[in-house]
Structure 1
Amino acid sequence: MDPVVLSFQDSLLRRSDVALLSGPHWLNDQVIGFAFEYFAAERFKSLSEKVCFISPEVAQFIKYASSQEELAVFLEPLSLATRQWVFLPVNDNANQTAGGSHWSLLLYQRDTSQFTHFDSQNGGNALHARRIAAKLEAFLAEKVPFVEEQSPSQQNSFDCGMYVICNAEALCESVRVEGCPLLPAQIITPTYITRKRTEWYSLIQRLAKE
C-alpha cells in the first residue's frame, strides 16, 4: 500500500513521494509538481498574473509535442502571452513521460525576450532545455535567445530536483521584491538545500493535517 498523504490543487502526493524528501533521494515529478503548485496557489499568489509555473508533465509534453496544434491544446489555457515569467522544470528523459535522472530549470522572460537555463550540473540538461525552448519559441512566434546562466552547483547525484525548486523560489522572491528575477547563488549552498528538504517535508505534513 502507498497511501495518499496530500491532495493539493492538481497534485497528489503519496507516502513514497513524500519520503523522497527525507533522505538522499532524487525527487520525482510529483514532488516538483507539488512545489510549483504551492508556489502558484500560495507562496507567490500575488504574482499570479505575471508568473506561470509549468508542471513537469506538461514541460515534458512540450519537449516531445509532434505539432503546433497539439502544443496549443496545452498552452493556450495557460495564457502565456500575458505572463512576464514562465518557469519550466526540465528533465533528461528521452520519451514523453516525466522521469529521467536529472532536473534543471528553464525560465522564459518576456521583458528581456530570453530563455534562461539554470542547471546545477554544468549544463548537463542543455540539449533538453533547448528543445523545450525551441517548441515554445515557435508558439510565441518570435526569435528568443537561449542563455545558459550560472547556477549553484549540486555536490551529489540526487539534489538536482531540490535545486530546481530552490532556484525557482529564489527567482520568484526576487521578482516579488525587486521586480526582476535574480538568483542569489551564494545563498543556495548544499547546506541550504538540505535544510529546504526538511522544510518542504514539514510543510507537506502540516498541509496534510489541515
Structure 2
Amino acid sequence: MDQVVLSYGDSLLRSSDVALLDAPHWLNDNIIGFTFEFLASTLPPSTAERVALLSPEVSQFIKCCGNDAQEFLQPLELPKKDLVLLPVNDNAGTEAGGTHWSLLAYLRSMREILHFDSAPGTNAPHARLMSKNLSSLLVGNPCYREEATPAQHNSYDCGMYVVCVAQALCEQYFRGCNNLNLQNITPTYVTQKRTEWKDIIRGLGNHSKATGGH
C-alpha cells in the first residue's frame, strides 16, 4: 500500500515518493516540490520574503504558457524578489515530469538568469524558453547565462543536484552574490544529502504523528 508519509504545506509525500531518495532513482516532482517548500520555510523571515522557490508545476506552467502566466502568477510578486529558483524539466508538455532536471535562478542584483545543469547542455533549450518567459514577469529584462555547475557522475542524480544547488544559493546569495561557491557539491556530498532528506522527512512525519497532525 502506497501510504501517505508526510503532509507538509502544499506537499503530500507517499512512501513511493520517499523511496526515490534511495539510489539509483530519479527524484520526481513531489520530492523536488517538497524540498523547495521546506527550504523556503526554513529561511529567516527577512530572507524568505525576498526569495521565491517555485514548484515544478508552476515552473512548467511558466515554460509552457509564457505571457499567459502573468495574471496567474501575480500573487507571487516575482518582480519584488531578489532570488527566484525554478526546477527545469525536459518535458515538452504542460504536465510536470520528464527525464532530466536542472535549475534556473534569477539573481536580481546581478540582473541575470543563470542555468545550472549537472549534465551541461542537456536542458539548455528548455531553460532558454523558461528564461524568456520568466524575464517577461520580471523587471529590467535580465540576461540568460549558462553557469558552470558540478557535474553528476551517473544517470540518476540530476534532481539531487538541483536540490543541492538550490540550497547552496539560498544559503550563499545574501552573503555576497558575487561569491557563489558550489565546489562542495561532489558525488559523495549528493549521496549524503539523499540520506539527510530522508531523515528530514522521517522527522517531520514522526512530529506530525506525535502532535496529532495528518
Q: Quote the Cα distance in structure 2 between the aligned partners of 1:44 and 1:123.
A: 34
Q: 1:88 aligns with which of 74, 86, 89?
A: 86
For residue 145 of structure 2, give the secondary structure of its aligned residue in structure 1: strand
Q: Quote the Cα distance in structure 1 between the aligned partners of 2:40 and 2:80.
A: 16
For residue 111 of structure 1, give the secondary structure of its aligned residue in structure 2: helix
Residues 164, 45 of structure 1: alpha-carbon distance in 2 compared, 3 angstrom cutoff: farther
AA in 2 matched with 1:195? Q
AA in 1 matched with 2:56? P
Q: Quote the Cα distance in structure 2 between the aligned partners of 1:183 and 1:89.
A: 19
Q: Quote the Cα distance in structure 2 between the aligned partners of 1:115 and 1:123.
A: 16
Residues 1:20 and 2:17 aligned together: no
For residue 61 of structure 2, give the secondary structure of its aligned residue in structure 1: helix
AA in 2 matched with 1:180? C
Match of 1:160?
158
Q: Quote the Cα distance in structure 2 between the aligned partners of 1:79 and 1:154.
A: 33
Q: Quote the Cα distance in structure 1 between the aligned partners of 2:164 and 2:150.
A: 10
Q: 1:202 aligns with which of 199, 202, 212?
A: 199
Alignment of 1:15-164 (within 5 A): 15-43=15-43, 45-65=45-65, 68=67, 70-140=68-138, 142-164=140-162
TM-score, normalised relative to structure 2: 0.92
Residues 1:184 and 2:178 aligned together: no
Any runs of at least 4 consecutive aligned residues in structure 1 with deviations exceeding 3 A, and if so which?
43-46
Over aligned residue pairs, what C-alpha RMSD do you find?
1.5
Residue 175 of structure 1: CA displacement? 2.2
Note if contact 2:168-2:182 (Cα within 8 Å) is conserved in structure 1.
Answer: no
Q: Quote the Cα distance in structure 2 between the aligned partners of 1:170 and 1:151.
A: 12
Q: 2:190 aligns with which of 161, 177, 193?
A: 193
For residue 140 of structure 1, give the secondary structure of its aligned residue in structure 2: coil
Q: What is the percent sequence identity of the aligned residues?
A: 53
Residue 111 of structure 1: CA displacement? 1.3
AA in 2 matched with 1:193? V
Q: Quote the Cα distance in structure 1 between the aligned partners of 2:53 and 2:180.
A: 17
Q: Quote the Cα distance in structure 1 between the aligned partners of 2:15 and 2:170.
A: 28
Residues 45, 195 of structure 1: alpha-carbon distance in 2 compared, 3 angstrom cutoff: farther
Residue 184 of structure 1: CA displacement? 2.4
Residue 140 of structure 1: CA displacement? 2.4
Q: Quote the Cα distance in structure 1 between the aligned partners of 2:34 and 2:206.
A: 16
Note if contact 1:104-1:164 (Cα within 8 Å) is conserved in structure 2.
Answer: yes
Note if contact 2:11-2:30 (Cα within 8 Å) is conserved in structure 1.
Answer: yes
Aligned residues: 207
Residue 28 of structure 1: CA displacement? 0.2
Q: What do the CA deviations read for 1:51-101 (whole angstroms, capped 9, x no partner)? A: 110100000011111x52x30233201111211010000000010111110
AA in 1 matched with 2:21? L
Note if contact 2:88-2:126 (Cα within 8 Å) is conserved in structure 1.
Answer: yes
Which structure 2 segments of 5+ residues have no match?
208-214
Match of 2:212?
none
Q: Quote the Cα distance in structure 2 between the aligned partners of 1:195 and 1:86.
A: 26
